[in-house]
Structures are given as C-alpha cells and as structure tokens.
Amino acid sequence: MLRVLASFTWKDYLRAIVDIAIVAYLFYQVFVLIRGTRAVQLLKGIAILFVLLQVTNWLELYTVNWLLGTVSEMLIIAIPVVFSPEIRRALEQIGRGRLFTRSLLFGPDVTPEQVVEEVTDAVFKMAREKTGALIVIQRDVGLEEHMDEAVALDSLVSSELIQNIFTKNSPLHDGAVIIRGDRIAAAACFLPMTQESVAIELGSRHRAALGITQVSDAVAVTVSEETGTVSLAIGGRLLRGLDPRTLREKLLELLPQRQPVNQLFQRRASK
C-alpha cells in the first residue's frame, strides 16, 4: 500500500483532491435541492431498506431478503416517477443557471424580528379593513413545489407590499404569499387544502393554511375576509383570534433568530 502511494506524483494527488471535491460538491447541491422536501423522507426509507437487505442477507433470512430485494427492484422503476418534481425543478434551475446559487435566509440588513414586525403590521391593518389574506412563512421544509405556478416576486418583505398584494380586486389577491427568509418569494400561490373536517365558518384560506402546515413545517397567518379575525396555523392546528402582541410573540418563537441589525425595525418603530 505504501509502495503504491509512494508512486503517486503531486499531479495524481491534485487530481484526486479535485475529483473528490467536485463529487462532494455535487452531492451537497443535490442535498440542498431536496432538503426539506418529501424526497428526503423517501430517501430515508430507501436507506433503511438497503440496511435491512444487508442485515437479512447476513442473518441468512432468505425469504425476507428475497422480498426486500423484489421491493428494491420495483423502487428503481418508481424513483423517476416519485422524484419527478425534484428532477424537473433541478433541470429548470440548470437551464436558468440557478442550481449552484443560493441566497442567505436573511440578508445582512434584515433580521427575523424585522420580518415579523412587517408581517404583523400588515396583517392587522388588513384585519381592520377586513381584507382577506394568507401569508405562509417557510422554515426548514422547502415550498418550491407550491410556487411553480405562482407569480415570482423575490422582493424584500414590507408591510406596504403585503397590503398591496391582498388589496381587493388585485390580480394577486387570490392565493397565498410565501415568505422565504427576508424575501417575499411568490404571490398567488395555491396550496393544498386540509382533508380533515374543520369548523363550518372557516373558509378556503383557513383550509389552505391548515393544509400547508400539515405537509410542511411552515407557519401560516390568515386574515378572515368576513370577520377580520387573525389566525395562525402551526402543524395542522389553528390558533384563532390573535392580537398583535400574541402573533408577534408566536412568530418570533417559531422563526430562527440571529443578532439584529435594526435599520428596518427602527423605520417601523418611528411610524
């Protein structure tokens, strides 16, 4: 072994390092692409199946091993179908030159506290006017699949913009706004509705808020168009009748924190 290593030149070492670095980077980008999507859970299931295959082979459990092997062969055919949204999204991002570019969750001049302040301000101004709204805030689980047919914005979160989006008769009024970090990623997003029974007075916005929080770890804020009531959906549960202080506290608990840079917050506080 040492003799083989001694025969390597510095070019061989450099080539190996570059080769490993490229492969590691590609694996990392694939992980980033599917991180937080349902594909991760499927990959975990495939990994468990592979481990069980090895264990049953080692224990000579031939019938179980044959059964697991048959399931594995079927998965090879099913994987392109199961992962088709992720594959399509990856190809689209390659075509746009965006696969290897990632933005920070929060920019250098904006903090979670400021985003929460902007959202809270917009929500209760709309509540006073009884303007219906649905605002979804992404956390760890990606929501790209719900933005494919939406209107991409990529705009800094602001109370004024949120209110303009949900103004009655606005072309973006229907659907949800999705916030990623300090940006409004998309508007007019149509979300999966919960299949569980809900109170009869709850409308489509509330059902969509419950639905998106059942399939992801996002949080959703709704404003009722009929009553102006503000609600917060978390994990498929709906907290209704919130006041500004409670909503602000709940959102700050749920969003990742970091050291604040108080420019936007000071602008809001001065109003």
**What is the distance in angstroms between the CA of the first residue and the CA of the last residue of the chain?**
72
**Chain-wide mean pLDDT for the chain?**
81
pLDDT digits (tens, 9 = 90+) for 175-219: 999 999 889 999 999 998 988 888 888 889 999 999 999 888 899
Same domain, 64 and 129: no
How many domains does one find in the chain?
2
Same domain, 65 and 188: no
Q: pLDDT higher for 99 or 149?
A: 149
pLDDT of residue 103: 45
Same domain, 34 and 127: no
Of the three residues 62, 96, 130, the one that is the final residue of a domain is 96
Q: At what angle do helices 244-254 and 112-129 cross, to 10 degrees?
A: 150
Q: pLDDT higher for 95 or 214?
A: 214
Same domain, 46 and 156: no
Of the three residues 48, 66, 96, the one that is the final residue of a domain is 96
pLDDT digits (tens, 9 = 90+) for 124-179: 999 999 999 999 999 877 788 888 889 999 899 999 999 999 998 888 888 999 99
Report if residue 263 sits inside a domain. yes
Same domain, 194 and 88: no
* Among 108, 191, 123, 189, residue whose Cα is nearest residue 156: 108
Q: pLDDT higher for 130 or 31?
A: 130
Report if residue 199 sits inside a domain. yes
Show the domain range for 128: 112-269
CB-CB contact of 180 with 143 (8 Å): yes
pLDDT of residue 106: 54
